Structure 1
Amino acid sequence: MTDRAIPTAYFDRIDATRFRATSLVGGAWNIAEQHVAPPMGLLAHVIEQGHATRSPQPMQLTRLSIEILGTIPIDVVEVTTSVVRPGRSIELAEGTLSVAGRPALIARAWLQHTRDTSALVGSSLPAMPTLDDVERVNPSDQWPGAFIETVGEVRRRQEEPGRAWTWIRPDVPLLVGEPVSATARLVALVDIANGVTPRVDPRSVAFPNLDLTLHLLRPPVGEWIGFDTTVSFGATGLGLTSTVLHDLDGPIGTVAQTLTVRPHA
């Protein structure tokens, strides 16, 4: 008898629409369920693939909004896509990730035809601290789950709980033996924004997100992704995690996550 092979990616492709989750997707709120970051990345990947088969003119994903409809077991998932608004320069696509026929994630993505606006590049968003100005940390000290153990090198400067600058260099691919764009690779990581600087100990208060909305100026470049993150809790069980995303060249976009704040009894 031989030992089962150690997974090398978050998913294995079965066929055109089905993918088998590996043990590396284990979640932070429940280690027996999928962390939603990898399946979000899978949705983005399949949406981009679908667009590429339709359009002779490549477009860039500029906004991705994802609704989290429920928990996702570590099992086979199916991803289907459709076009909501076709166009030669702008397209709105939709994707659904399901488990055993039950939708778990629904995404809508705007894609745009690119053009040269390099002469207009500029932003007043604050810069991230450099890699040399942040300390290496182990996110598994605060969070359980296999996915958190796979996120690679993490460096953080925390101003206070709920406010921090974090650099992450992921090192596990989304799919076995299949090229994935820099954008889909980013999407497979960004949901971690809600956990990089908890306002409170997650063992005493749960604050899972109901959704994720990503806006992008451009695809990321290089290995490192920066998170300039602020977590806010309201007085009636609502919360918001707001993040400006960076790579080593500067800001690349923003992420917003709606939280449901649930103190443990």
Structure 2
Amino acid sequence: MPGPVPTAAPPAYFERLAPGRYRATEHTGGAWSVTEQHISPLNGLLVHAVDRFVAERATGGRLVTARTTFDILGVVPIDEVEVHVEVVRPGRTIELLEAVAVSGGRAVLRARAWRLARHDTGVVAGGHPDPLPPPDGLASVDLSAVWPGGYIASLDVRPLRAPEPGRATVWLDTPVALVAGEPVGELARFVGLVDTANGIAVRQSPMEWMFPNVDLTIHLHRQPAGRWVGLDTTVVFGPDGAGLTTTVLHDLTGPVGRAGQLLTVRPLT
């Protein structure tokens, strides 16, 4: 399962080739197979495409993305991808956008983003969990001992405490840009790290069991800011082949929302 970690790949997960076309670099190499993309950077790329689509529309700044659901439609080779964005449900105060990544002529990832109107609700804000302690002074750990691939090798992972089976709380950062030479919004960069959650609190060894996620849903009550992504994660395996990874998402200011991943759990033979 483990493979060589790239040492001379470009310092970005993707390089733009043309409008809507990108080439994945070896930094996207996946955890389940080093010849396939880890889906996390591709999630960020689709949010980046939505952000660019919104920026080109005169009314885009009035709304913010509050929920994004990603459906993983198949394995993604480390190769070129095309990204298409369209409006599914237009509206002045609520709209639904869809972004699709295509590789080798087939759709491999589909994202749907609900965007809501901005309102000042600070006077009634509340109900969220406590903030996490900051990552300053925490020691980095090398997840490559558990997971192979260029993506995992690209991360700065700082646990708040030693992980337990099915339970972990960590801060994540990466020096690798999402798209080479291109400004990327804070939401796209944040989302590009969230899918890591399923790999930080493993219940069983990935050398003996497979538990890839088939989706990722992110609900936000506040827009994230800054480089650090906090993941307070719990993993549950059910008795008949399904599992669920749930995460409270944080930035340095505090919690920003929650994420859920549906897992397909099966033994390796």
The TM-score by the shorter chain falls in which range?
over 0.9
d(CA) in 1 for partners of 2:118, 2:41: 27
d(CA) in 1 for partners of 2:136, 2:49: 36
Would the aligned equivalents of 1:129 and 1:165 in 2 still touch at CA under 8 Å?
A: no
1:28 corresponds, among 28, 31, 45, to: 31
1:128 deviates by: 2.4
Residue in 1 that maps onto 2:173: 169
1:132 deviates by: 5.8
For 1:20, give the aligned amino acid: R
Deviates more, 1:155-164 or 1:254-263: 155-164
Q: Which runs of 5+ in 1 are unaligned?
A: none
Alignment of 1:3-22 (within 5 A): 6-22=9-25
Residue deviations 1:216-249 (CA, integer Å, cap 9, x gap): 1222122211111000000001000000001111
SS at match of 1:37: helix
1:56 corresponds, among 43, 55, 59, to: 59
Residue deviations 1:2-43 (CA, integer Å, cap 9, x gap): xx9640100011111110111110000000000000111111
d(CA) in 2 for partners of 1:247, 1:227: 9
Deviates more, 1:158-167 or 1:210-219: 158-167
d(CA) in 2 for partners of 1:11, 1:98: 14
Alignment of 1:72-111 (within 5 A): 72-111=76-115
After superposing on structure 2, the runs of 4+ consecutive aligned residues of structure 1 that deviate more than 6 Å are: none
Relative to structure 1, is the Cα distance of residues 123 and 264 closer, same or farther in structure 2, using a 3 angstrom cutoff? same
Would the aligned equivalents of 2:233 and 2:248 in 1 still touch at CA under 8 Å?
A: yes
d(CA) in 2 for partners of 1:262, 1:129: 35
For 1:79, give the aligned amino acid: V
d(CA) in 2 for partners of 1:217, 1:157: 26
Deviates more, 1:152-161 or 1:255-264: 152-161
Would the aligned equivalents of 1:26 and 1:74 in 2 still touch at CA under 8 Å?
A: yes
Would the aligned equivalents of 1:161 and 1:199 in 2 still touch at CA under 8 Å?
A: yes
Alignment of 1:174-193 (within 5 A): 174-193=178-197
1:54 deviates by: 2.0
d(CA) in 1 for partners of 2:58, 2:258: 27
2:116 corresponds, among 102, 109, 112, to: 112
d(CA) in 1 for partners of 2:169, 2:137: 10
Residue in 2 that maps onto 1:245: 249
For 1:190, give the aligned amino acid: V
1:51 deviates by: 1.7
SS at match of 1:251: strand
Query: TM-score w.r.t. structure 2 length?
Result: 0.92
Instruction: Tell me how large the CA RMSD over aligned residues is.
Output: 1.7
Relative to structure 1, is the Cα distance of residues 173 and 159 closer, same or farther in structure 2, using a 3 angstrom cutoff? closer
For 1:121, give the aligned amino acid: A
Deviates more, 1:7-16 or 1:134-143: 134-143
Residue in 1 that maps onto 2:3: none
For 2:247, give the aligned amino acid: T
Residue deviations 1:185-240 (CA, integer Å, cap 9, x gap): 01111000000110111111110000000011222122211111000000001000
For 1:155, give the aligned amino acid: P
For 2:53, give the aligned amino acid: G
SS at match of 2:132: coil
Residue in 2 that maps onto 1:41: 44
Q: How many residues align?
A: 262
For 1:45, give the aligned amino acid: H
Residue deviations 1:99-154 (CA, integer Å, cap 9, x gap): 02100001100112212222222224243244368553211121100000101243
For 1:174, give the aligned amino acid: L
d(CA) in 1 for partners of 2:221, 2:137: 25
Q: Which runs of 5+ in 2 are unaligned?
A: 1-6
Indicate the percent of aligned positions where both proteins have the same amino acid: 47
d(CA) in 1 for partners of 2:60, 2:39: 31
